Amino acid sequence: MGMRLAGKTALVTGATSNIGRAIAEAFGAEGAHVVVSGRSAERGAEVVEGIRAHGGRADFVRADLDGSVAASRALAAEATRVLGGRIDVLVNNAGIYPADSTAATDEKTFDQVYAVNVKAPFFLTAAVAPAMVEAGGGAIINLSSWIARLGVSAGALYSSTKGAVETLTRAWAAEFGPRRVRVNAISPGVVLPSDAEVADLAGAMMKGTPAGEMGAPEAIASAAVYLAADESSFVHGIVLDVDGGRTGVAVVAA
């Protein structure tokens, strides 16, 4: 077990699977007391048990972040209580991804995706950041996506929400950074557990990149640890691409 986050407390949303789970586990391994948040109590308990089994500290707080102010405030309040009165690190990871075409997207789906992917982290940050300021500082990490900046033919709605998240990251860095709360984002490439049912299809989207293959959740977790730790104290308002080179590099086969 490392100690890069020793003494820190952290709330990770959407932490019962994939990237969120990997981040929660990495934080626990680095010494943080982690609140694992998500909708499934069963999966949450599994993540918590795994962190504790490796000597870490973790608790589960159920939350359905539907975009309402009430849901975000309730999670902030309960996580603060569980963590002993403060949240040092907030990871806004929870999100949903419908891959429908623009013409096939109805208004209900549009509103739901923006509620979960934009409104929920907005109001959760609004509930948590002022307390971080009062406590003397903190770190907020938002999860974006490579398709926020590289257009693909499916998922325009989701892509637009991640573009909003990147804009919020920069705005919040300007708003809270001078008061010792660092705000940054991570933009993953195609990242799924290797046993995911869609792994072959998802992996094909990483062809033509330097990595040449799909990434693992643990790669994103390592970046999150860096942005949460004191070693990144001079880092504000960035979007850290952890995408195998997907957005910045084209590899042309000889």
The catalytic residue positions are 158
Q: Of 124, 59, 128, 51, nearest to 88 (Cα)?
A: 128
Short-list 56, 59, 70, CA closest to 12: 59
- Integer Cα distance of 116 and 95 in angstroms: 6
User: What would you report as the CA-atom Rg of the chain, rounded to the nearest whole angstrom?
Assistant: 17
Structure tokens at 135: 């406590």
Can you list the alpha helix ranges (DSSP code H) found in the chain?
Answer: 18-29, 41-53, 69-82, 107-114, 120-135, 156-176, 199-204, 217-228
Tokens 């089994």 sit on residue: 53
Rounded alpha-carbon distances, angstroms, from residue 246 to 144, 149, 208, 223: 14, 10, 8, 16
Residue 222, classified by CB atoms within 10 Å of its CB into exposed (0-12), middle (13-18) or buried (19+), is middle
Nearest to 76 by CA among 177, 254, 86: 86
What strand order describes the sheet that includes 181-188?
A: 57-62, 33-38, 9-12, 89-92, 138-143, 181-188, 239-242
For residue 60, report the phi and psi dihedrals to the nearest 5 degrees: -105, 135
